[in-house]
Chains A and B, each alone.
Chain A
Amino acid sequence: MTAVADAPVRPARTPPHRRRSARRAVPHLVFLAALLVAWQLAAQLLEPIVLPSVDAVAAAFVDLVLTGELPLALAQSILLLVLGLGIASAVGLGFGILIGRSQVAHWTLSPYFSALFVIPTVALVPIVLIWFGFGMTGRVIIVVLAAVVPILLSVASSLRDEPGELVEVARSFGVRGELALLRTVRLRAAVPVIMSGLRLAVGRAVVGMAVAETYLRLGGIGGLIRDYGSLFQTDYVFAAILPLSLLGVGLSALVGVLERHYQGWRS
């Protein structure tokens, strides 16, 4: 992080991003085309119920959009994800700070969160169902349970090691009190680790969302998949999986934007 030599230094630079991403797109597209051709050929050999053809999936997708089923489901899923991730971030940050800064809290609370981390989200569904019913509350709680631990662990572990002498620097220049130090130095220095925790949490939240939407009351993208799956309309199932993965990719990209905002200085 610190430059060692006394070499001449450039004050700023703008890397030629654009040309590089264009060069990367070509093999990407070639591979995608090959994949679609292989899929289409395989679909000729198999029953449509096992593997529907590419054009059938495309038609199903258009149908889902035109009937309004997919936009509605997507909106429901996004709402669930936003609520779940929002609450998971708040809870994860709060308990993460507590566990990261208090040894007693670390000893008493950490085992429970570690246990939660290894329990598959599906296993929690019956309990959440009994306690909170089929409604929105239960679904949000599933997503929170799935996503909270990576955020909490990343906050806690990065707060446990001191960011070098920077805390002393802040104190010597007039920052007073644990809260102010957290805000100005400790959490700010922990951003890279917290961001990777958030990335992990996004992936788990999407899984939690799909679980909640298929095992609790049907709804959202997960509900669509379950509905059409039980009708053996495989082309519609594929058409619904696509936006689900796009949702995950989109959220990861959002985390990327956050990362660049806080760590732009690294590039």
Chain B
Amino acid sequence: MPESKLSVEGIRKEFPLAQGGGTGTLQVIGGIDLDVAENEFLTIIGPSGCGKTTLLKIIASLVAPDAGCVRVNGRVVTEPGAERAMVFQSFGLFPWKTVLDNVRFPLVTRRVPTAEATERAMTYLHKVGLERFADSHPHQLSGGMQQRVGLARALATEPDILLMDEPFGAIDAQTRELMQEELMRLWQETRKTVVFVTHDLDEAVLLADRVLLLSPGPGRVRRIVPVELPRPRWEYDVRAHPDFAPLRAELWSALRGDLLADQQSGVAS
């Protein structure tokens, strides 16, 4: 494997348990080590409560881990930086800003000159097919279009690593398939390293170079499955490929076991 673009070393995270006024803590992530190579597309999947979103937020330096560290290009990072950009589950657009101002926001914050910021924002709005809507406000757009704005905003910062937190989870099924295809095209074109959290098994396999399966609370690396389906994957029906079903079955049996075990422990406690 080439040198790792992103590495996660011994990450642990607990949250205080507020329920019932108790003083206990809930361990969400119980020691995760992970290396992501340059240009790799890694998807993270796991039962709800396995800490996959928390892991992504730790990688984004939005949440501080209790132990361990995150390295980007070999350097330890503790603050959000321009080399990582996040796409949020419920889009995270500022409703009072226009589409253009939303995409320009990270650039303006980082003091990119206005003319250059506008040009870059328009370039990426064009890439997602929304330059006509630059002056609209987010509420005038559909969910799929709003997430395209979210994607354009992240890409316009020209990051090395794109962090995506269930970005298509709030989008209807047909639009989601289009967005997946669009994302693959953009990824092929811009060659980013992507860490993509999802709860959709098909989506995890469809997009990934490797699928990381997390075990439930506290989250640990359960299994890493390489996906060697040929690319570009929008040129054929991936789900009909002979390798797809066995991959999906392998992941599902592991996931299913964890889900059942989790349910039983939930009943027992």
Contact = CB atoms under 8 A, between A and B. Distances in A.
Contacts of A105: none
A1 B140 CA distance: 9
A6 B172 contact: yes
B142 interface: yes
B138 interface: yes
B96 interface: yes
B90 A173 contact: no
B67 interface: no
B88 interface: yes
B142 A265 contact: no
Contact of B140 (A3, A168, A188): A3
B157 A173 contact: yes
Nearest to A191: B96
B136 A165 contact: no
B233 interface: no
A165 B90 contact: yes
B136 A169 contact: no
B134 to A, nearest CB: 9
Contacts of A1: 95, 139
B76 interface: no
A4 B141 CA distance: 9
Contact of B94 (A3, A6, A166, A174): A166
A5 interface: yes
Contacts of A165: 88-90, 92
Nearest to B90: A165
A11 B136 contact: yes
A128 interface: no
A2 interface: yes
B106 A2 contact: no
Given A2-B91, A265-B95, A174 B143 contact: no
A263 interface: yes
Given A1-B139, A262-B96, A171 B144 contact: no
Contact of A6 (B98, B106, B144): B144
A185 B88 CA distance: 16
A265 B137 contact: yes
Given A1-B95, A3-B146, A165-B92, A172 B86 contact: yes
A7 B96 contact: no
A6, A184, A188 — most chain B CB neighbours (10 Å)? A6
A263 B94 CA distance: 12
A9 B146 contact: no
Given A173-B80, A173-B85, A174-B82, A3 B136 contact: no
B143 A4 contact: yes
Contact of A2 (B57, B94, B146): B146
B26 interface: no
A193 to B, nearest CB: 14
Contact of B132 (A11, A164, A174, A188): A11
Contacts of A7: 142
A12 interface: yes
Interface in A166-221: 166, 168-176, 184-185, 188-189, 191
A10 interface: yes
B255 interface: no
B80, B81, B132, B141 — most chain A CB neighbours (10 Å)? B80
A5 B141 CA distance: 9
A174 B142 contact: no
B135 A12 contact: yes
B187 interface: no
Nearest to A164: B90
B139, B142, B144, B172 — most chain A CB neighbours (10 Å)? B142
Contacts of A173: 80, 85, 105-106, 109-110, 153, 157
B139 A172 contact: no
B34 interface: no
B62 interface: yes
B29 interface: no
B143 A6 contact: yes
Nearest to A3: B142
9 contacts: A2-B139, A6-B175, A166-B92, A168-B62, A168-B88, A171-B80, A173-B153, A185-B94, A188-B96
Interface of B: 57, 60, 62, 79-82, 84-86, 88-92, 94-96, 98, 105-106, 109-110, 132-133, 135-146, 153, 157, 172, 174-175
Interface of A: 1-7, 9-12, 164-166, 168-176, 184-185, 188-189, 191, 262-263, 265-266
